[in-house]
Amino acid sequence: MAQLLRHVRCMATRVTRLRVGDSAEMRKRFTMEEVKAFAELSGDDNPLHTDQDYAANTRFGKCIVHGVLMNGLISAIMGAKLPGEGTIYLSQEIAFRGPLYVGDEAVARVEVLDIRKDKPVVTFATQCFNSSGDLLMDGKGKVMIPKDTHANSIEQADN
């Protein structure tokens, strides 16, 4: 139950304490219009993402969301939920395990793996699943968190 209560799903923009095991999720379906908007924004106009006829002749059979856009959900959780506002991305490792099809629901999830004591740096497991529970993206992200959040997290861990 304690673990369940620590599972952060609220829309608060600032978490003042973190514990190893804290997690947060975000769900999103990317429409073809959104995928095309990202292709335009980034310049990544690989037809695998935006051309149904082209995608039909690939191993995927239909259009898939850009991997980097799917990873945007991870950044979104970190910047908006856990740790929230003021978070600065330091690094990310990503392995793409399977395709997110345009229109399918993505369930992105982050979980605190490590909180450094000597500096305000936190490592997260970062994953994305489809609605069937298949792992689509797996990795680790490291972020810098606001100093007061770090101080509170360390103080709590020491108690």
**Residues binding a copy of itself (CB under 8 A):** 26, 28, 34, 37-38, 41-49, 58, 66-69, 71-76, 79-80, 85-96
Q: Identify which of residues 7 and 67 has a Cβ nearer to a copy of itself in the complex.
A: 67
| Angstrom distance (rounded) from CA 105 to CA 130 | 6
CB-based burial label for 5 (10 Å; 0-12, 13-18, 19+): exposed
| Angstrom distance (rounded) from CA 83 to CA 63 | 32
Q: Identify which of residues 20 and 90 has a Cβ nearer to a copy of itself in the complex.
A: 90
Q: Identify which of residues 17 and 49 has a Cβ nearer to a copy of itself in the complex.
A: 49
Place of tokens 């304490």: 17
Least CB distance to a copy of itself at residue 130 (A): 17
| Angstrom distance (rounded) from CA 86 to CA 78 | 9
Does a cis peptide bond (omega within 30 degrees of 0) precede residue 47?
no
Rg (the chain; Cα; Å): 17
Least CB distance to a copy of itself at residue 46 (A): 3
Least CB distance to a copy of itself at residue 5 (A): 24
CA atoms within 13 A on the CB side of 152: 12
Place of tokens 């600065």: 88
Least CB distance to a copy of itself at residue 103 (A): 15
Least CB distance to a copy of itself at residue 3 (A): 25
Q: Identify which of residues 21 and 47 has a Cβ nearer to a copy of itself in the complex.
A: 47
Q: Identify which of residues 8 and 26 has a Cβ nearer to a copy of itself in the complex.
A: 26
